[in-house]
Amino acid sequence: MDKIVVIGGRRLEGQVTISGAKNAVLPIMAACLLAHGRFRIKRVPELRDVRTMSHLLRIIGARVDQEGHELRIDTTNCSFFEAPYELVKTMRASIYVLGPLVARYGYARVSLPGGCAWGPRPVDLHIKGLQKLGAEIGLERGYIVARAKKLKGTTITLDIPSVGATGNILMAAALAEGTTVIENAAREPEIASLAEFLNGMGAQIEGIGTDRLVIRGVQELQPADFETIPDRIEAGTFLVAGAITQGDVTVRQVVPDHLRSVLAKLTDAGAEVFEGPDWVRVKCDRRVKAVDVTTAVYPGFPTDMQAQWMALMCIAEGTSVIVDTIFADRFTHVAELRRLGADIRMDGNSAHVVGVPKLQGAPVMSTDLRASASLILAGLVAEGRTDVSRVYHIDRGYERIEEKLKGLGAEIWREQEPWPEAVVGVMPPDES
Ligand code: UD1
């Protein structure tokens, strides 16, 4: 098992190229199950979650080859329509195969993900949506079993604009008979990009990027090639790295519009923000000011940036309040940040962060993907050495984060850490 070691105190400077978005490519990989044939997906990040989804597609019968950042998927011989518990428990996004399988093959058996460190995280909206489209869904020994002869278009109003439920219903509706309208749909760029991909396959989706998606079902979809959109969370993390180290960091190959809420908060905190068509630069000459953040659905401040923002606020001048309205329990990083000397008090889903002038390096344990990122960010400014263990979490969603940070001037490296005998074989839970 690896850990990441950071020696704090270096000012980060330079440019970093952002990878394709994990949360965009995972549903796109699942969507390939909607057609027979060969797909080519470009700008695919080399991540553990992508390998897990590839593994799942292979179980279903697809051929999947990743060469660098290009993924080739051949869905000609799919014949086993199941997502086993062993995989779903390591990656919740496995649920994305449910909609495509039931729409394309009329049957799917997908393990229920169960709870996670951020709370219960139900998938009821996925199930209700597919039921409204006409699928018969039962729960059998921990598995969602869905059957349908032919899905039928209808209007589905989501109680919450869930990213996953919108994606699953969208994929299923693409092959349904008649028109489906999804009201209160998620507007996240990753959902818009999924809809663009589906349209490239021959789907007829309108309202892309809005909270009302209109899908005219088609008989059949064809394979297509696609390029993954940039990862706005990776980009946001590197911009915070620039601000926290009072540095000057440019993220390249990004869509600045996807980063609006984060850029506005960085500006409020006193950083200078410059941008071009596909790059954003953050320059910060002094200690940032405390700025409150409340997470919200897109285009609001992303919950996936909450932990990284908290790391920044730990060394800000003043007190800030950080509220997570999307996942009320997503605060596993707080106890670890405190070990580095942060002054944080929790009150329900609100964190009150009193900025301190300095953090001190310490061994910390990363508890989920974005929490790990926040600990590395804190380590960049902590005095001395910070060892962030259990970095398998970070490898789920950041491609070579230590190399990219090193390229910006950080003193950081990866080390092997022996697993204690007792935990060998225990798969880590998934949280994003
Ligand atoms: C996705 C992202 C994750 C991000 C989250 C919110 C992927 C692979 N993961 O997760 O990184 O943090 O969006 O931006 O893209 N909910 C229900 N019932 C459901 C589904 C969701 O109550 O059936 C609730 C959740 O508990 C949560 C809220 O809706 O409180 C939002 O969750 P959702 O948007 O579905 O997140 P995910 O798709 O799981």
Which run of H or E residues covers position 264? helix 260-268
Q: What is the pLDDT of residue 431?
A: 53
**Who wins on pLDDT, 120 or 398?**
398
Residue 247 has pLDDT above 80, yes or no: yes
Share of the chain above pLDDT 90, in %: 92
Question: For residue 146, is it left (φ>0), alpha (ψ between -120 and 50) or beta?
Answer: beta
Q: Which has the higher per-residue pLDDT, 424 or 218? A: 218
Q: What is the C-alpha to C-alpha distance for residues 243 and 222, in angstroms, rounded to an integer?
A: 45
Give the domain ranges of the chain.
2-18+230-418, 22-216
Q: Is 116 a catalytic residue?
A: yes
CA atoms within 13 A on the CB side of 114: 15
Count other Cβ atoms within 10 Å, centred on residue 120: 9
Note the helical H segments in 175-259: 189-200, 232-244
CA dist 263 and 348 (Å) reads 27
Strands (E), 133-211: 136-140, 143-147, 155-157, 179-183, 204-206
DSSP 3-state assignment of 175? coil
Does the CB atom of residue 124 touch ligand 1 within 6 A? yes
Residue 420's pLDDT is what?
61
Cα separation, 306 vs 300, whole angstroms: 12
pLDDT single digits (tens) 177-229: 999 999 999 999 999 999 999 999 999 999 999 999 999 999 999 999 999 99
Are 2-18+230-418 and 22-216 equal in CATH topology?
yes
DSSP string, 51-117: HHHHHHHHHHT-EEEEETTEEEEE-TT----EE-HHHHTT-GGGGGGHHHHHHHHSEEEEE----BT
Element counts in the chain: helices (H) and strands (E): 14, 26
Report the DSSP beta bridge partners of residue 7.
Answer: 385, 411
93 in ligand 1 pocket by Cβ < 6 Å?
yes
User: Interior CA angle at 163 toward 76 and 32, to 5°?
Assistant: 10
Give me 309's structure tokens. 């923002």
A 10 A CB-CB count for 89 gives 18
Tens of pLDDT, residue by residue over 254-284, are 999 999 999 999 999 999 999 999 999 999 9
| Among protein residues, the one whose CA lies closest to atom 11 of ligand 1 | 432
Tokens of 323: 């509220």
Give the residue from 42, 3, 207, 34 showing the smallest Cα distance to 105.
34
Average pLDDT for 49-70: 97
Q: For the residues 19-47, what does the mean pLDDT come to?
A: 98
Ligand 1 pocket test, pick from 56, 123, 162 with the greatest ligand atom count within 8 Å of Cβ, gives 162
User: How far apart (Å, rounded) are the C-alpha atoms in residues 237 and 218?
Assistant: 40
Compute the average pLDDT of residues 335-361. 97
319 is written with which tokens? 């007190």
What CATH number does the domain located at 2-18+230-418 have?
3.65.10.10
Chain centroid offset of residue 431 CA? 9
Atom of ligand 1 nearest to the CA of 123: 23
CATH architecture of 22-216: Alpha-beta prism (3.65)
How far is the C-alpha of 107 from the C-alpha of 10, rounded, in Å? 54
Which atom belonging to ligand 1 lies closest to the Cα atom of 161?
Answer: 34
Hey, whose CA ends up nearest to atom 1 of ligand 1? 163
Q: If pLDDT is split at 50, 70 and 90, which confidence band does 419 have? A: low
Q: What pLDDT is recorded for position 421?
A: 54
SS3 157: strand
Predicted confidence (pLDDT) per residue in 355-365, tens digit: 999 999 999 99
CA–CA separation, 376 vs 414, rounded Å?
12
- 162 CB less than 6 Å from ligand 1? yes
